[in-house]
Chains A and B, each alone.
Chain A
Amino acid sequence: MTTRNTEIWVGIFIAAGMAALFMLAMKVSNLASYNNGGGFEVTARFENISGLKVRSAVTMSGVTIGRVSKIEFDNKALQAVVTMKVDSQHDTLPKDTSASIYTAGLLGEKYIGLEPGGDEANLKQGDVIMLTQDSLVLEKLIGQFVSKFVSDSSSESPIAP
């Protein structure tokens, strides 16, 4: 094996390894959907965000238009403060847009769904979304349902003979 052949093979090997890494990054993972470029940040306050994570999707009409960039806890108001980064081309969102936390499917990931309002002014960097709706907690819902069911049946029982 001549030296030149060795070098060519090593070159092919390193190129193939790099190509495999590139393929893993671009085609397998979510790097392509990362948008580190322009964008503006808006915050929203929630009573309960259970399950929302940093980098969760922010959608409007089902289209992902941004990502959650920071989740903090406000010690004074005792609320969760969620900062989300919306891609810069979506700068025409009305100022009174409302934010809700939804679940993808029955057990899927949490995401923020934005719904447009009717205001003339647009959301800008640093704005706060005033209208929010909390994450739905399945246990609470079941609890309410069960207690309602129990109180219904107990109020019926005196009538029964």
Chain B
Amino acid sequence: MLDPLSRLGRGGLDFFKSLGRGHILLAMMLASLPGLVVRPRLIINQIYSLGVLSLVIIVISGLFVGMVLGLQGYNTLSKFGAEESLGVIVSISLVTELGPVITGLLFAGRAGSAMTAEIGLMKATEQLSAMEMMAVDPVKRVLSPRLLAGFISVPLLAAIFSAVGVYGGEFVGVGLLGVDEGSYWSQMQANVDIYDDIENGVIKSLVFGLVVSWIAIFEGNNSIPTSEGVSRATTRTVVHSALAILGLDFILTALMLGA
């Protein structure tokens, strides 16, 4: 009779426990960030493995998303005789929504899962405990460089994604479908605002970068130190990151449009 109730209670307690551990971990990582100034090498190596190695998938996805937007936008707009607005549709949807969101999702899949697996295996093979034994703080040495690298990489990746996408849309719209090149760019410049659109897109990508790296690091650090535990943690990273990105995207958009 009381079994389902206690199961619910245990679930709730577990949820809040891991939420609390996540926040404590975030606070510890943020506190150890100033110490990283003297070891930039750690951050550079992480930016390489998180950012540079994600570049290929970001550029290719950006190109194709931009091209699809050009194609779809042209087909819809030509019904109203408003093909000249193609540049506006392509650039606003890329800069404010698709750039940050798809970059965040791809980053979670490409780099976040790898981060979780790496940290989870470090934990399973007791490398983290060994570091602690040698009086090396694993938070300072392993975790916070990854957080900072993710926070730096995602906005840059999102900007590259949007820029490549705008050119992909131009390639399809102007090059193949015959939209006037001048109106493609001039309508875009007339309707995309540096503060309302570009800045908001950058803020979104900063938030997504932080949240995805945080989730990935936490899941890795919180994983059960077995091969099954690491595989579960990796799955959770991708699922939770995707949910967090989509949910936060709605909240951020609502806040930005309301302001």
Contacts and interface: CB of A to CB of B under 8 A. Distances in A.
B45 A28 contact: no
A17 B160 CA distance: 6
Contacts of B159: 17, 20-21, 24
Q: Chain A, interface size: which category?
A: 20 to 34
B189 A30 contact: yes
B162 A27 contact: no
A19 B162 CA distance: 12
B118 interface: no
A24 B198 contact: yes
Nearest to A12: B52
B150 interface: no
A82 B48 CA distance: 51
Contacts of B157: 17
A34 interface: yes
A21 B202 contact: yes
A7 interface: yes
Interface in A44-62: 55
A10 B162 CA distance: 20
A25 B192 CA distance: 9
Contact of B156 (A17, A28, A29, A33): A17
Contact of A14 (B156, B162, B166, B197): B156
Contacts of B193: 29-30, 55
Interface residues of B, number: 31
A154 to B, nearest CB: 39
A159 interface: no
Main SS of the interface on chain B? Answer: helix
Contacts of A12: 52
Given A10-B51, A10-B52, A20-B162, A27 B185 contact: yes
A20 B156 contact: yes
A29 B47 contact: no
A30 to B, nearest CB: 6
Main SS of the interface on chain A? Answer: helix
Contacts of B1: none
A31 interface: yes
B95 A28 contact: yes
A24 B44 contact: no
A112 to B, nearest CB: 16
Contacts of A7: 44
Contacts of B197: 29
A58 to B, nearest CB: 14
Given A10-B52, A21-B202, A34-B194, A28 B166 contact: yes
B91 interface: yes
A8 to B, nearest CB: 10
B100 interface: no
B254 interface: no
Nearest to B88: A28
A61 B251 CA distance: 43
Given A17-B160, A20-B159, A20-B163, A31 B51 contact: no
B172 interface: no
B257 to A, nearest CB: 14
A20 B157 CA distance: 9
B160 A20 contact: yes
Contacts of A21: 156, 159, 202
5 contacts: A6-B45, A20-B156, A25-B194, A28-B166, A29-B197
Interface of B: 41, 44-45, 47-48, 51-52, 55, 91, 95, 152-153, 155-157, 159-160, 162-164, 166, 185, 188-190, 192-194, 197-198, 202
Given A9-B48, A28-B166, A28-B188, 17 more contacts: A6-B44, A10-B44, A10-B52, A13-B47, A13-B55, A13-B153, A14-B152, A16-B160, A21-B159, A24-B166, A28-B162, A28-B192, A29-B194, A29-B198, A30-B192, A32-B189, A34-B194
